[in-house]
Amino acid sequence: MTKIALLDYGMGNLHSVSKALTNVGAEVSITNDPKVVAAADKIVFPGVGAMRDCMIGMREAGIDDVVRDAVFNKPVMAICVGMQALFEQSSENGGTECLGILDGNVEAFDPSWTDEQGATIKVPHMGWNTITELESNHPLWHGIEDNAHFYFVHSYYCAPNDNSQVAAICDYGQPFCASIIKDNLFATQFHPEKSHTAGLQLLKNFVDWQV
């Protein structure tokens, strides 16, 4: 059974993520203990809330160093604010320095953007939306149809410098990065643990992923 360390720094949606991973066959430890993380096969890095508070929680728990070390050693999945934290800086809270693992920044949705019907978008982007997989043959997308629905809750989006790392896009007034795959690092702006069948399939694919 795949052992997964679910990183706890006081800001993650831990219960629902743990339950979803357990449902697809993983053995989950909710932890910020570097020894437990080191012993795990894979790591899941969740996040909810404001970026500044998340970064403070990460640094106080030592999770920032754990994530930096882990991305070079084992498969890592980052979810929502966890994905945003991987970049260099977020415009949230007047500008917040992030982990700098990925090149690029996190930007706010522009409330003047309009949808396909010409209506201005609501911020935060909350609810179901479709994604288009750019790497549809990647094992992480196994069993997931293009334009599958996933659940989003966010006011900010990732703007990577290297578009070759973008694994899926979503449209909300403008196309934005919904997922990134880089080597053994997988990140989603949406919440797989809240996305029913497609989300559970994606989590199962991560549990089974051989890097």
Residues 80, 158, 170, 177: which is the catalytic one? 80
Catalytic residue among 125, 154, 193, 196: 193
Distance CA 122, CA 172 (A): 9
Quote the CA–CA distance of 138 and 147 in Å, as a whole number.
15
Q: Would you state the structure tokens that stand for residue 55, as one six-digit string?
A: 């970064």
Q: Is residue 191 flagged as an active site residue?
A: yes
Does 154 qualify as catalytic in the annotation?
no
Counting Cα atoms < 13 Å in the Cβ hemisphere of 88 gives 7
DSSP β-ladder status, 76-79 and 185-188: parallel
27 flagged as catalytic = no
Q: Within 13 Å of residue 184, how many CA atoms lie on the same side as its CB? A: 18
Q: Of the candidates 199, 107, 187, 108, which has an alpha carbon nearest to the alpha carbon of residue 151?
A: 199
Distance (Å, whole) CA 8 – CA 120: 36
CA 198 to chain centre: 15
Active-site residue identified among 125, 158, 177, 191: 191
Catalytic residues: 80, 191, 193
